[in-house]
């Protein structure tokens, strides 16, 4: 028998509107057509207000569908309520109730067992995951601590470098100031040097100061050497030369000189004026500095070539060596005799 699809909906609507008897009739028709229709049974039982009738109907439905948990729970709820009201003793509990109760207990135990097994699986998996995560966290924490320690070390070193850098900047500023000052002084001195150079005395030269005569000349190595002769010595040499020349003029000794090609030259004998003592304080030092005889001869000749020649002094006027230096005469032969050691 095929029933209209909306018949159950109409029955539920009648029940909700308070027309429970009309709803019961429709639900009875539905149950007769479909005895296992749990929804129809549920609303059908609700149309009976008496707990005993409801218990009876639920037991009837459980005979048709004993696996219905909803019916079992409803039956247990109704029986508990009846026991609480004292209308039913435990020993008079129907067999159907006991069977349903034990079945529910068995189902609950199975469910608890399944839940416990699932819990163990989940707990084991969770424990393994947590253990692995814990190891990773510990490793990360160790790495973090090491990195933090290195960071602190680097930060400390960086702070020290910052302090040193600040100190160096201060020193650099001071040195820059000193450099600027020195550079300014250099510019000023350079200007003064250029001005002095215009009026400076450049070797070779002879100057007199504090009754001392200083003779300056350039050496072959580029340095400047200074010889000092007391002015008193020059005066004595001048007087001594005057008397010696008088003696030489009276004797009028003439010597002959022969060249390599056999040619003879006759010159005045000036051996009286040969006196190495005037250079005994400077010639030994010059000889030691030269290093060899040939270098010494070159150095002596270099000195002689720097002697100034004055036109009014040209001539063979014999004088002693120191006097020749001071007067810068052209008596080269006497100097060459006196200079070598």
pTM, full prediction: 0.35
Query: Which parts of the chain sit beneath pLDDT 50?
Result: 88-92, 309-314, 328-337, 340-341
Region(s) of the chain under CATH 1.25.40.10 = 7-108
Note the pLDDT tens digit of each residue in 113-165.
Answer: 898 888 888 887 887 788 888 888 988 998 888 887 787 678 768 877 888 89
Kindly report the CA angle at 295 between 292 and 300, in degrees rounded to 5? 120
pLDDT of residue 178: 92
CATH code matching the domain that covers 7-108, chosen among 3.20.20.70, 1.10.1660.10, 1.10.3720.10, 1.25.40.10: 1.25.40.10
Which residue, among 34, 42, 10, has the nearest Cα to 23 in the 3D structure?
10
pLDDT of residue 151: 78
pLDDT of residue 161: 85
Cβ–Cβ contacts within 10 Å for residue 238, how many? 15
pLDDT of residue 18: 93
Answer yes or no: are the C-beta atoms of 300 and 339 closer than 8 Å.
Answer: yes
pLDDT of residue 81: 84
Note the pLDDT tens digit of each residue in 274-292.
Answer: 777 767 777 888 888 888 9
């Amino acid at each position: 028998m095929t029933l209209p699809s909306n018949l159950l909906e109409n029955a539920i609507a009648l029940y909700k509107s308070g027309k429970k008897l009309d709803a019961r009739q429709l639900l009875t028709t539905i149950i007769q057509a479909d005895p296992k229709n749990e929804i129809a049974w549920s609303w059908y039982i609700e149309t009976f207000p008496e707990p005993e009738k409801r218990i009876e109907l639920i037991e009837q439905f459980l005979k048709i569908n004993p696996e219905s948990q909803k019916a079992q729970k409803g039956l247990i709820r109704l029986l508990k309520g009846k026991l609480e009201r004292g209308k039913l003793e435990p020993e008079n509990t129907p067999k159907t109730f006991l069977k349903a109760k034990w079945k529910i207990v068995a189902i609950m135990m199975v469910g608890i067992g399944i839940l416990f097994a699932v819990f163990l699986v989940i707990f084991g998996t969770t424990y393994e995951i947590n253990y692995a995560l814990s190891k990773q966290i510990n490793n990360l924490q160790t790495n973090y601590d090491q990195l933090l320690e290195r960071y602190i070390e680097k930060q400390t070193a960086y702070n020290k470098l910052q302090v040193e850098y600040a100190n160096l900047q201060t020193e650099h500023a001071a040195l820059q100031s000193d450099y600027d000052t020195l550079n300014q002084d250099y510019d000023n001195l350079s200007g003064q040097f250029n001005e002095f150079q215009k009026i400076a005395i450049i070797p070779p030269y002879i100057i007199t100061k504090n009754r001392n005569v200083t003779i300056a000349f350039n050496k072959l190595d580029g340095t400047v050497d200074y010889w000092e002769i007391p002015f008193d010595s020059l005066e004595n040499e001048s007087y001594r030369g005057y008397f010696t020349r008088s003696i030489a003029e009276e004797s009028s000794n003439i010597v002959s000189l022969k060249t390599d090609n056999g040619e003879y030259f006759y010159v005045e004998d000036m051996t009286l004026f040969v006196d190495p003592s005037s250079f005994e304080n400077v010639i030994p030092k010059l000889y030691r500095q030269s290093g060899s005889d040939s270098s010494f001869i070159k150095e002596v000749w270099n000195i002689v070539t720097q002697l100034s020649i004055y036109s009014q002094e040209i001539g063979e006027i014999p004088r002693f060596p120191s006097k020749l230096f001071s007067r810068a005469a052209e008596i080269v032969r006497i100097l060459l005799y006196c200079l070598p050691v």
